[in-house]
Amino acid sequence: MARNIRLNNAGNLKAPDEATGRRYWGKYGFTGLDEDGFAMFDTAAGGRAALEQQIRIDQGRDQTQEEFINKYVGAAADPQGTANAQINIPQLTNAPSDTTLAEIDKDVLFNAIVQNEGGKDSVEYFAKPKPNFTTIDRRVGARDTTREPGISLPPEPTIESETVKPTATGLTSDQLTQRILDQDAALAKEEAGRPPLPAADAGGSMTTPVPPVAKPAAQAMPETGTAPALQGNGAAINKQFGKLLRPQNKFTPQKRRTT
């Protein structure tokens, strides 16, 4: 087992004495030093936090990646370890040795140091924990899922709850509203695809015009000629006179058709 995993010390941090270690890392669960002066922590999370603190401090200093490695590993105390780190860490950060340390992503630098100290298994061991239901999401509108002792959160709304109820169609109000909007959009699309109606005529009517019906030709009245002289008694005269005035053909006016 790698030393950093065994001691829960992600970066194999060292301190000159326990008092110094307690002053720097006491809040992270520092429990003491081993026989070689490496710090020990009670949890992997504590050892991770201690290395993250050291990275923040060193990124605030004006130094290159090469200068940081010489100081961190210790060029005089461990020349071979320093030489190895000068090869490994720049490859893992994908940054040249003369890159300013502040320009390197802190998480990338963290993983490079951990892998240099204990291999890939160490990177997995000290990886950030994945969020769970007790993690507080600080985004706007997010729900606080932390719980205080003795307090339980209400259940999420379900289809039977009073916050989300089905309609008579079996759909929720939001689903029903969406269906209506979809139907309206489909009708609008169908109307847009229909051909245009014919233009109206001058009179404003869109019906086919019908020509007017011609009046029937008037029929001429028969000529009666010159009435003959009337002779005889009164009854005969009246009878003869009536024949002269009566037309030979009866004329019945036709009714005019209307449009």
For 124-152, letters b (16+ CB in 10 Å) and e give ebbeeeeeeeeeeeeeeeeeeeeeeeeee
In a domain, 118, yes or no: yes
Q: What is the pLDDT of residues 189-210, one digit of tens each?
A: 777 676 655 544 444 444 444 4
In a domain, 120, yes or no: yes
In a domain, 58, yes or no: yes
pLDDT in the model for residue 75: 79
Query: Domains in the chain: how many in total?
Result: 1
Lowest-pLDDT choice from 57-61, 153-157, 188-192: 153-157
Domain range for residue 69? 3-125
In a domain, 252, yes or no: no
Q: What predicted TM-score, i.e. pTM, was given to this entire model?
A: 0.51
